[in-house]
Chain A
């Protein structure tokens, strides 16, 4: 299993990356950790003529606090996320998610920018980005634009990013005081993609739900918000009955595709279970 021949570029600056992208257009692919792209190239599902390696572009690395936002460079690896004290303190949901992605070797290479950009409904970060209300900094020949996660994931392998754009940074508000979050993922084995997974961010006021976001992984052509499940919780005490009802709403909203991980009915049921699990965990963390 060897990819089709291509020309390899390893530029040092973002400017040089954009210049190469402008020159080669949709004949080119960016290479981040390569752990989604290279397997596809080995199977010849992808066959770019030009591969532009981002590994030397220092501007794309690093996790920093900026006001009440955290800015995460696109080339930050899952391993960096798991090890980040800043994220553990201010965005523990991201650490919890990264710990459940793939396996150690893949986490050393796979990047958050690559995970989000790839548009794979099986990837875990997209739902988490939706739940956290993240936004993405995209840079192209005409400059920079910032796209909210809600407008980014359009379908399977389809995102709002243009072929000549690079994702440079992911921006997320740090977790609100008193809020709790959780990512619940069902997988067949360690290192597998989700059969179904749910990301939940919850904040209570006076014991009732004042803010909630729920997003689902791998049960639709792209990551999706479970709006009706969220609406069903607002203003309510988050008790067993409310949690079960939210799970039912999430089940109705998802459109899973049958595959080796299960048929539609099973995946739908598991989406509901994951929403319930994530809600329960988030609720416990609200108090903590």
Chain B
């Protein structure tokens, strides 16, 4: 009844083919079969957002998507962000603004923030709070995460940005 199915999709720009049972969740395919362990499992109940990936231009929680639903889709995970040794503006922003502590929520935060900035390139703090509400962080409080996203937004709009963090300013990139 539940024979394995071949599924092909694009993962961070490369085509991947996997053989999965229909019941396999995307998060498990990514982590266990494709060695992409950036998307994390925080709750498994669709609440925390640690497993967020970008699927065909939408942020989704990969613990609540079947891999078979991803046939012919484009999937972007945190592994696809840095290019040629250069951090993505969001990764730099999270570092510069101290937007993380343990880092567990960070891949999901960045992946979600990426889509948010595609849709709203210049978000207000209120908009960031509203559109990032599907991602929970147990460490930082959200203030520095918001600053990190604003940092990246400015950088992506071509502005010169500096950290607003009193200690980070001392540390060069």
B44: A residues at CB distance < 8 A: 1, 42
> In whole angstroms, how far apart are the Cα atoms of A32 and B94 in the complex?
35
Distance to closest chain A CB from B45 (angstroms): 6
> For window 12-30 of chain B, which residues contact chain A by CB distance below 8 Å?
21-25, 28
Contact with B along A1-37 (1 / 0, CB 8 A): 1111111101000000000000000000001001100
> In whole angstroms, how far apart are the Cα atoms of A6 and B134 in the complex?
29
User: Given A8-B66, A105-B61, A109-B60, does the pair A191, B133 have CB atoms closer than 8 Å?
Assistant: yes
* Interface 9-mer from B46-54, B79-87, B97-105, B147-155: B46-54
- Give the A-B contact count at a CB cut-off of 8 A: 83
- Contact check: which of B21, B22, B134 meets A106 at CB < 8 Å? B134
> Interface size class for chain A?
20 to 34
Q: Does B91 contact A (CB under 8 A)?
A: no
> Interface size class for chain B?
20 to 34
- Contact check: which of B28, B64, B112 meets A39 at CB < 8 Å? B64
Q: Does A235 contact B (CB under 8 A)?
A: no
Known A-B contacts: A49-B1, A104-B133. Give 7 more (CB < 8 A).
A5-B21, A8-B5, A8-B66, A34-B65, A42-B25, A42-B45, A105-B112
| Interface residue ranges, A against B (CB under 8 Å) | 1-8, 10, 31, 34-35, 38-39, 41-42, 49, 51, 53, 55, 79, 102-106, 108-109, 190-191
| Interface residue ranges, B against A (CB under 8 Å) | 1-3, 5, 21-25, 28, 44-47, 49, 52, 58-61, 64-66, 68-69, 71, 112, 116, 131-134
